[in-house]
């Protein structure tokens, strides 16, 4: 896939799936802006890993609408436009209903939805305004198999990803007349820096056995699917949610 001279913004781009996606786009010729929330060093290291020139990082907390607008404006100004948005940033933390108090429950839902769903929706809005001016673009949202199978210990996360899938399909219908195509990928468990310790523990065997392949996904495998949905050749897949879970959950 060729993305020469394409301008790409990736949220949560400093590690894991986001970093792998940034590398893949840069290797395909794109100019990449990565958004990060707090870890400036990780963002700088990610930028150093990208081949080519003109890549940069922008700090922003996407749970705040004003920060989202400033992030997109900064990316557009620096790159003189925006062709592809990848909504990858997200929160995932435990808040089980049987052991959380009401204050913790409220906080978990507020924090998770503000970042995973409302933040992503605001990014879609701001990016789409620029893309409509340019005559088109691509938006790829990173969802999760948890949208379908449920997340009993992290219910706000599952709900946020189900909402992201529905949002992606709605926006695909709304934006197609403007030559803007929207899709989503729904990964299962992925081996990243954050999950490596868990995979190396006793629980790792059970996690790998969820897939008949006997393993979990690599970030690069998810990145490949994101690039496919962002490619010119994939325009007619707009509105699809692409499962990347090694047949660990089928629906």
- 102 catalytic? Reply is no
What is the model's pLDDT at position 30?
98
Residue with tokens 């949208």: 147
The pTM is what? 0.96
Domain covering 7-244: architecture: 3-Layer(aba) Sandwich (3.40)
Q: Per-residue pLDDT tens for 166-182?
A: 999 999 999 999 999 99
What is the model's pLDDT at position 196?
82
Q: CA 162, CA 145: separation in Å to the nearest integer? A: 9
What is the model's pLDDT at position 237?
98
What is the model's pLDDT at position 84?
98
pLDDT by 10s per residue, the chain, length 251: 899 999 999 999 999 999 999 999 999 999 999 999 999 999 999 999 999 999 999 999 999 999 999 999 999 999 999 999 999 999 999 999 999 999 999 999 999 999 999 999 999 999 999 999 999 999 999 999 999 999 999 999 999 999 999 999 999 999 999 999 999 999 999 998 777 887 888 888 998 999 999 999 999 999 999 999 999 999 999 999 999 999 999 99
Backbone angles phi, psi at 193, to 5 degrees: -60, -35
User: DSSP letter string over 82-107?
Assistant: --EEEE---------TTT--HHHHHH
E strand or H helix that includes residue 21: helix 16-27
Q: In what order do the strands lie in the sheet with 7-11?
A: 56-59, 31-36, 7-11, 84-87, 137-142, 180-187, 241-244
In the set 102, 125, 148, 157, the catalytic residue is 157
Structure tokens at 225: 């699917």
In sequence order, the 6+-apart residues with CB closer than 8 A to the CB of 58 are 33, 34, 35, 36, 71, 74, 75
Q: Per-residue pLDDT tens for 72-83?
A: 999 999 999 999
Structure tokens at 145: 């198999």
Pairing of strands 241-244, 180-187: parallel
What is the model's pLDDT at position 199?
84
């Amino acid at each position: 896939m060729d993305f020469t001279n394409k301008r790409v913004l990736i949220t949560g781009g400093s590690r894991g799936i986001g970093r792998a996606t940034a590398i893949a786009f840069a290797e395909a010729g794109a100019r990449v802006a990565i958004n990060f929330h707090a870890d400036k060093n990780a963002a700088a290291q990610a930028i150093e890993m990208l081949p080519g020139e003109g890549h940069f990082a922008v700090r922003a907390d996407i749970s705040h609408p004003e920060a989202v607008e400033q992030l997109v404006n900064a990316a557009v100004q620096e790159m003189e436009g925006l062709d592809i948005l990848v909504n990858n940033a997200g929160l995932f933390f435990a808040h089980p209903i049987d052991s959380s108090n009401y204050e913790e429950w409220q906080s978990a839902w507020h924090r998770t939805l503000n970042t995973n769903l409302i933040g992503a929706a605001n990014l879609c809005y701001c990016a789409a305004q620029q893309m409509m001016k340019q005559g088109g673009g691509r938006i790829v949202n990173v969802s999760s198999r948890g949208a379908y199978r449920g997340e009993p210990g992290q219910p706000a996360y599952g709900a946020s990803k189900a909402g992201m899938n529905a949002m992606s399909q709605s926006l695909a219908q709304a934006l197609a007349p403007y030559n803007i195509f929207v899709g989503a990928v729904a990964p299962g468990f992925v081996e990243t820096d954050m999950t490596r310790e868990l995979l190396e523990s006793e629980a790792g065997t059970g996690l790998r056995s969820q897939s008949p392949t006997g393993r979990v996904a690599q970030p690069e495998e998810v990145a490949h699917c994101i690039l496919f949905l962002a490619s010119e050749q994939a325009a007619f897949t707009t509105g699809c949610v692409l499962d990347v879970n090694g047949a660990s959950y089928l629906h």
